[in-house]
Amino acid sequence: MKLFDVYPINDITITKAKGSYVWDAAGEQYLDLYGGHAVISIGHTHPHYVQRVTDQLNKVGFYSNSIRIPLQEELAAKLGKVSGKEDYQLFLCNSGAEANENALKLASFFNGRKKIIAFTKGFHGRTSLAVAATDNPSIVAPVNQTNNVIFLPFNDEEALQACFRAQGSEISSVIIEGIQGVGGINVASVPFLQQIRHLCDEHGAVFIADSVQCGYGRTGKFFSHDFAGVNADIYTMAKGMGNGFPVAGIIIAPHIQAKHSMLGTTFGGNHLACAAALAVLEVIEQENLLNNAAEVGNYIMQQLKGISELKNVRGRGLMIGFDVPEELKDLKKNLLWKHKIFTGEAKPNVIRLLPSLALRKKDANEFIEAVKEEIAALVPTH
Ligand code: PMP
């Protein structure tokens, strides 16, 4: 059997990983500024994480949700404390798409409505509702097509206002990434997020904060929507939550009444997933990783802004993007093959950085120096 060809791949096999570094089969070291697509939050193979997951595997790896799993309660309490959303309820599942699927469904159960507002360049996953709310028709199969999703321009307060004025009583939810990731690192403006909060309150719609990529401390705050000083009704989380172990969840504001029969999953909240997620939160807390993400992220952003060839440097904390002009189109490729640095990309010409929240200034400097060197090589007049 051959593998289903999902993504274009780089011909590299990673056989060892530690902190912000990985090694290939030949022993070559790479700096990882992609974090496996924002998944590696506390660094690869963190000793506390390895210990906690291994200990749990030796005790009990899995039993169904038909029994009490105290680790789930421990995780809910810890997550409430670290995120500051102590009065929310936690539902555990397995992936970002599943989290968004459940959030959109729960909102509709709650207010009995069908319409969803989503935004241009937004990405929410590949399951039926999540993909229908994703602005990429090429991944929406005929069976996923629905006219219940209204796409509005991102950060456009007037369009949002007009939509609610016309159809406010039909809107079930508004789903928005605090910073669009796949769409190219586009930061939702503070007034826009505040307006979503205001209009949802006014019209009885549910504000869903997709925090799958921009959440979990990546921006220096636990949820990037926190920069606007507003609370969403539901936050969805995945990627960084398990540092590589598949675990995801949604947290639900107290006024949203969820009956247990509305949501469910076999693997969600299993013992190993909870152990992994708890280890991540413990390390985030112990190592003060939110502060580190803010500090090292600001540093990288300042340095990149000082390089005149790079355009529109943007983001928050350790979620950073910048545009690469045509003459630097080989920058990403050269960073990988010549400088052994993994970065991410977004269409058309954006480089995305999503490193571990524990990235050190010294690692950041390695990247900045490599970028400068490459620009000097690619733009000879520099
Ligand atoms: N939401 C956002 C913002 C994402 O970036 C992604 C993944 N790229 C998803 C949802 C879907 O997550 P998953 O791949 O775990 O289903």
Would you call 158 helix, strand, or coil by DSSP?
helix
Burial class (CB in 10 A: 0-12, 13-18, 19+), 6: exposed
213 lines ligand 1 (CB under 6 A): yes
CA-atom Rg of the chain in angstroms: 21
- DSSP assigned state of 96: H
Over residues 127-143, mean pLDDT? 97
Q: What's the longest Cα–Cα distance across the chain?
A: 67
Over residues 142-158, mean pLDDT? 97
135 lines ligand 1 (CB under 6 A): no
Over residues 215-244, mean pLDDT? 98
The CA 97 to ligand 1 mean position distance, Å, reads 6
Say how far apart CA 91 and CA 102 lie, in whole Å: 9
Residue 6 pLDDT class (50, 70, 90 cuts): confident
Per-residue buried b or exposed e for 31-70, using 16+ beta carbons within 10 Å of the residue's own CB: bbbbbbebbbbbbbebeebeebbeebeeeeeeeebeeebe
The best mutation among 40, 93, 214, 239 to test binding of ligand 1, ranked by most ligand atoms within 8 Å of the C-beta, falls on 239
Residue 381 pLDDT class (50, 70, 90 cuts): low
Residue 344 has pLDDT above 60, yes or no: yes
Name the token pair of 261.
Answer: 């029969």
Q: Which of 176, 229, 187, 179 is nearest to 38 (CA)?
A: 179
| Lowest-confidence pick of 73-82, 158-167, 228-237, 372-381 | 372-381
Residue 207 has pLDDT above 60, yes or no: yes
Residue 379 pLDDT class (50, 70, 90 cuts): confident
Residue 7 pLDDT class (50, 70, 90 cuts): confident
Instruction: Give me the percent of the chain exceeding a pLDDT of 70.
Output: 99
> What phi and psi values does residue 14 have, to the nearest 5 degrees?
-90, 125
Interface pTM, i.e. ipTM: 0.99
Say how far apart CA 310 and CA 302 lie, in whole Å: 12
The CA 235 to ligand 1 mean position distance, Å, reads 13
**Domains 14-42+288-378 and 47-286 belong to one CATH topology:** no
Q: Which of 294, 283, 188, 178 is nearest to 235 (CA)?
A: 178
Q: What is the pLDDT of residue 105?
A: 97
Q: What is the pLDDT of residue 380?
A: 73
Residue 127 has pLDDT above 60, yes or no: yes
Kindly report the average pLDDT of the chain as a whole number: 96
Contacts of 125 (CB under 8 A, 6+ apart): 95, 96, 97, 98, 99, 100, 101, 131, 134, 212
Q: What is the pLDDT of residue 9?
A: 82
User: How many CA atoms does the CB half-sphere of 36 hold within 13 Å?
Assistant: 22
Would you call 150 helix, strand, or coil by DSSP?
strand
Residue 257 pLDDT class (50, 70, 90 cuts): confident
First to last CA, the chain: 50
The best mutation among 37, 104, 124 to test binding of ligand 1, ranked by most ligand atoms within 8 Å of the C-beta, falls on 124
Q: What is the pLDDT of residue 136?
A: 96
Q: Does domain 14-42+288-378 have CATH number 3.90.1150.10?
A: yes
Say how far apart CA 350 and CA 143 lie, in whole Å: 31
Q: Does domain 47-286 have CATH number 3.40.309.10?
A: no
Q: Where are the domains of the chain?
A: 14-42+288-378, 47-286
38 lines ligand 1 (CB under 6 A): no
Q: Give residue-wise pLDDT tens across range 230-242.
A: 999 999 999 999 9
Say how far apart CA 350 and CA 121 lie, in whole Å: 13
The CA 118 to ligand 1 mean position distance, Å, reads 15
Q: Give residue-wise pLDDT tens across range 13-25.
A: 999 999 999 999 9
The CA 335 to ligand 1 mean position distance, Å, reads 25
Over residues 115-120, mean pLDDT? 98
Residue 319 has pLDDT above 90, yes or no: yes
